[in-house]
């Protein structure tokens, strides 16, 4: 079994939750999301982020607006929709339950 593959799959499993959590704090540019994820040691490349953002938009969970930039082309800023906020709240509940369950198993003392 390959440890690195398992670690990658674990990170991918929480990526959507992390992205929605970041966007929930307010309008954000994709490169700022990448920076925050990188600081948190969830390394994501643009080739992963942009398709995920597009899927979230098509699902009605996020929206974006174009904002003119003085330093180059317009930028796309993402926000959560009302549906996205509801979805994120459900994911948070699932996350809390998963963490509690996992800790109970990992910390079990026979």
Can you read off the two tokens belonging to residue 53? 């953002």
**Mean pLDDT per 10-residue interval, the chain, length 110 residues:** 86 92 97 94 88 97 93 92 98 95 87
What is the reported pLDDT for 103?
94
User: What does the alpha-carbon distance between residue 32 and residue 57 come to, in Å, rounded to a whole number?
Assistant: 18
What is the reported pLDDT for 25?
97
What is the reported pLDDT for 70?
85
What is the reported pLDDT for 80?
98
What is the reported pLDDT for 110?
64
What is the reported pLDDT for 109?
72
């Amino acid at each position: 079994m390959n440890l690195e593959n398992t670690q990658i799959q674990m990170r991918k499993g929480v990526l959507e939750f992390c992205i929605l959590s970041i966007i929930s704090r307010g309008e954000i540019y994709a490169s700022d999301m990448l920076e925050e994820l990188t600081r948190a040691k969830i390394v994501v490349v643009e080739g992963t982020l942009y398709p995920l953002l597009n899927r979230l938009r098509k699902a009605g969970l996020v929206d974006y607006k174009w904002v003119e930039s003085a330093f180059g082309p317009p930028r796309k800023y993402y926000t959560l929709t009302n549906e996205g906020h509801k979805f994120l709240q459900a994911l948070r509940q699932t996350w809390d339950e998963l963490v509690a369950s996992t800790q109970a198993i990992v910390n079990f003392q026979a």
